[in-house]
Amino acid sequence: MTLPVTLPLPPKVGMVSLGCPKALVDSERILTKLRSDGYAMSADYAGADVVLVNTCGFLDSAKEESLAAIGEAIAENGRVIVTGCMGNEADVIRAKFPQVLAVTGAAQYEQVVSAVHEAAPPVPSPFVDLVPEGGLKLTPRHYSYLKISEGCNHRCKFCIIPSIRGDLVSRPANAVVREAEKLVGAGTKELLVISQDTSAYGVDIRHATSALHGRDIRAHVTDLARELGQSGAWVRLHYVYPYPHVDELIPLMAQGLILPYLDIPFQHASPTVLRAMRRPANEAKVLERIRRWRDICPDIALRSTFIVGFPGETEEDVAYLLDWLEEAQLDRVGCFKYEAVEGAAANELPGAVPEDVKQARWERFMATQARISAAKLQAKIGRTLDVIIDEVDDEGGATGRSKADAPEIDGQVHLRDAGGLKPGDIISAEIEDADDYDLFGVPTEGPR
């Protein structure tokens, strides 16, 4: 009689992932590699043989959150490996938590996996395929972040990303497209292209070509966008600096190859502040380009982030910024109060803005943008828009997003009479109402 094979139990890994979508992609890649090595995943501290904490080190408040997460993991489990952006400050982490098993920096996938192997050796098993098509995901099945490069060549005075992640390092174009194809094949309906500087993709490798399906593809953001647009998924571009060649992307949006959406981190509009930040001070030219973009693609949605309270910022600078905002009529906008970051060049600048003044300026900014956003959304009432479904409820309602809305950072479309829909469905919906940030409507047809 042949006895049944008893498979050894694999070690389990827990993951706490902090920070931006780029860090989330790092976490997904680490988990995918560990899964392929035979590890199981644990949803809680108690069941994990080792816990990974992927940290954020961009702001002091983010560092505090990371240290708190490390402390919680040590208290709840005791066997902790730290990785991510704050891993560059290993001395700080080890001084506070000497019991951590290992500390690695951002995007150091091999070092992280090696540390896990040492802490909880894998149990080989040839009987089970442990990795699903497309790898392990921390996002819903229907959308995926697609990282095309690491690092940044800019030296903005408020930012320490280059010191954490280094200069620009672009992935070969064929590797990016193949990953996208696997993701779409595994059920992804929306690809969110991310990096530190998406517009600069390929600059470091002189836009080298690579072989893909018997032909060559160039490592250039326009070529890549055109290629990804053939995937059948929504393609959304994030972190796009407004270099001149960005103009080449707008016709692709008008043709429907990629979503009519650009995420451009303007940060400010005042030439004085932009120079102090060490960013391009071409705000007037940007307004002209925005007008041209809208002429070519009237439905283009522009989102951005801004900083108020940067050292040396005056009331005149804020007035200039608010006037610029009125002129630009951006669709989606976030605003941050300037926060000093250890290691940033801005810390040496004179003219620190008091916290109460920062708060007042932030409130003025947000009130201005809320009015702009509300007016733009009111104009969509009565239109029929494509909507991708993110969540459904038990009462016949659903929540999704239009082409103008990225997950978690932009608005939503709340639908009534949406029975039978499921996450990932793309439908048409008539917009019936709007508030400052969200739309409300009803489906007009089923999934397609």
Binding-site residue set for [4Fe-4S] cluster: 20, 56, 85, 152, 156, 159
C-beta separation of 318 from 284 below 8 A: no
b/e 353-366 (16+ beta carbons within 10 angstroms → b):
beeebbeebbebbb
Residue 437: both structure tokens together: 């940030």
C-beta separation of 106 from 82 below 8 A: no
CB-count burial class (<10 Å; 0-12, 13-18, 19+) for 148: buried
Where do the DSSP E strands lie in 61-157?
Answer: 80-84, 102-103, 143-147, 149-150
Residues annotated in the binding site, as ranges?
20, 56, 85, 152, 156, 159
Classify 342 as helix, strand or coil.
Answer: coil
C-beta separation of 178 from 212 below 8 A: yes
Give the per-residue SS3 of 380-391: CCCCEEEEEEEE
Classify 231 as helix, strand or coil.
Answer: helix
- Hey, what long-range contacts does 375-381 have (CB within 8 A, 24 or more apart)? 376/329, 376/331, 377/411, 377/434, 377/435, 377/436, 377/437, 377/438, 377/439, 378/434, 380/431, 380/434, 380/439, 381/431, 381/432, 381/433, 381/434
